[in-house]
Amino acid sequence: MIPVPVRHRFSVDDLLLMEESGVLSPDQRIELIDGEIIDISPINQPHAACVRKLIRFFQQHLPLDQYILDAQNPLQLTEHTLPQPDLIIAHYRSELLTEEHIQPTDVTLLIEVSDATYSYDRNKKYAQYASAGIPIYWIVNLNKQRVEVYSQPEGNQYLREEIHQKAFNVLEGITISPSDIFPKKG
């Protein structure tokens, strides 16, 4: 008899083995956060439209010989943490197009589009991204129609916070406006 419940902590390798052996379906929407397998909400239409708008904007405005855009793919932060951010802008390295995964040190900007998951993105993921040294973390808050920009990571927090509901400057002096981000409400 076990007097206290025991939690089993999984590693990224454990997760990959579970997927390879069929324990977890490859199309199952999950993330590994601090060794726990977390179910991710299905992507609704406003969320998907927002991600597509962001991809389109950055494809049109960033020099793609200097950056790589990566959408909804895993990013290994630690041995026990493998989130799937909505969008990553990484420094270009040709290896990222062939044999290597994006590393936290490659990331210039990481974006989570948030509606029902806001508290999770603002608390749990915020701390994970800061701890991994992600230099700029955006939460695109669909409910409040604003972009929260966190920068200057230190420990498990960001020292700088900006909230934008109007046009603002992003990477390379590029200005982005709400119409470039948010889907129109029908």
Ranges of each domain in the chain: 43-181
Q: What mean pLDDT do residues 30-59 have?
A: 92
- How is domain 43-181 classified at the architecture level of CATH? Alpha-Beta Complex (3.90)
Distance CA 147, CA 114 (A): 10
Of the ranges 26-30, 45-49, 131-135, which one carries the lowest mean pLDDT score?
26-30
* Average model confidence (pLDDT) across the chain: 92
The set of residues, in sequence order, having a beta carbon less than 8 Å from that of 156 and lying 6+ positions away, is 127, 128, 130, 131
Task: Please give the model's pTM, rounded to 2 decimal places.
Answer: 0.91
Percent share of the chain, pLDDT over 70: 98
The set of residues, in sequence order, having a beta carbon less than 8 Å from that of 19 and lying 6+ positions away, is 25, 26
Burial class (CB in 10 A: 0-12, 13-18, 19+), 3: exposed
Reported as a single tens digit per residue, the pLDDT across 119-157 is 999 999 999 999 999 999 999 999 999 999 999 999 999
Q: What mean pLDDT do residues 28-54 have?
A: 91
Percent share of the chain, pLDDT over 90: 70
Reported as a single tens digit per residue, the pLDDT across 69-126 is 999 999 999 999 999 999 999 999 989 888 888 999 999 999 999 998 999 999 999 9
At 186 the pLDDT is 55
At 1 the pLDDT is 55
At 42 the pLDDT is 83
